Chains A and B, each alone.
Chain A
Amino acid sequence: MRLNEHGFLALADAMIFIIVIMAACAVIASYETDSAFDEKDPSDLMTAVESTVLRLSDLTDGDDSMVRMTDLLAIYAFEGTESIEIYSKELLDGWSGGRGCSISIIYTNPIGSVFERTIGSGDDPIRSTERTFSVSTGGTVSITIGLCS
């Protein structure tokens, strides 16, 4: 099949039409994606958890020594302290505004035993972030914060 100049220009005409329409759609789509700004990022809460320093007595039966929140979460994974769970749920609710989200904690003690617990609800998170911290008494704690729709 051969195109004469008439057919060729008709083809070029159609292609320019398509390109302009695609540009118009791209411009309109860019306006719509701007509204996605409000999506929450679990790493914000992870930073807050990492920066939190409380007294041991605030959430456990311990003394008034200062302790990082990551250490408290390791204690929770080890022995399931209820007050730490309640405070963590308050953090999740305050941050997510009641949307489903969770903190999964895996504490590995210095001899390699693993203790794992999850606070909050929300299966199949749409966004999550994970970080591992060293625990002041030894071992590591791996924290995953997930946000569900």
Chain B
Amino acid sequence: MYADRKGGMDFLESMIALMAVTTVLAGFLMMVVTTVPDDRDPCEDLDGPRFTGNVENGDFEPSFIHYVTSFIDSRGLKGCIISVDIPGGFADCGDPIVIGETGTPVSSRTFTSIIQSDDGRSFPAFFEVVLCV
């Protein structure tokens, strides 16, 4: 394969340029994909409907403690703080529920559930979940 008088190789030169550009851009694309930090919010994996409970004698009894304990263990998190808010004052929510250790908060999310009361009422409750590392 020889160059012409002007030093050009016409078709072959174009093919080589095309492959070079394609290869470099493909490499760039792979680099971008592999170096984008994994900033996925761990709260996205929480199962919202699991945050519920019931009201007995006016006190809120959570039913998610075991689930949250398993969740933070499986994700390598230090702990979790869960604040329960029941509008209307239909139950005593007490202090925020702390599971594990209260380290640095990394993520939070609010879930809505319906709480069953032992007197036949059912009403919404809001759970603010803060995950800590």
A residues apposed to B, CB below 8 Å: 5-6, 9-10, 12-13, 16-17, 20-21, 23-24, 27-28, 31, 34-35, 37-38, 44-45, 48-49, 51-55, 58-59, 66, 87, 90-91, 93-95, 97
CA distance A35 to B123 in the complex (A): 30
Given A45-B112, A54-B121, A66-B121, 16 new contacts (CB under 8 A)? A6-B14, A12-B18, A16-B22, A16-B25, A20-B29, A24-B28, A31-B36, A35-B39, A35-B41, A51-B114, A52-B122, A52-B123, A53-B120, A53-B123, A66-B120, A97-B110
| CB closest chain-B residue, reference A12 | B18
| CB closest chain-B residue, reference A86 | B88
Size bin of chain B's contact surface: 20 to 34
What are 24 A-B interface contacts by the 8 Å CB criterion?
A: A5-B10, A6-B10, A9-B11, A9-B14, A9-B15, A9-B17, A9-B18, A12-B18, A16-B18, A16-B25, A20-B22, A20-B25, A24-B25, A27-B32, A37-B41, A44-B112, A48-B124, A49-B124, A53-B122, A58-B121, A59-B88, A66-B121, A94-B124, A95-B126
Interface residues of B in 4-35 (CB under 8 A from A): 10-11, 14-15, 17-18, 21-22, 25-26, 28-29, 32-33
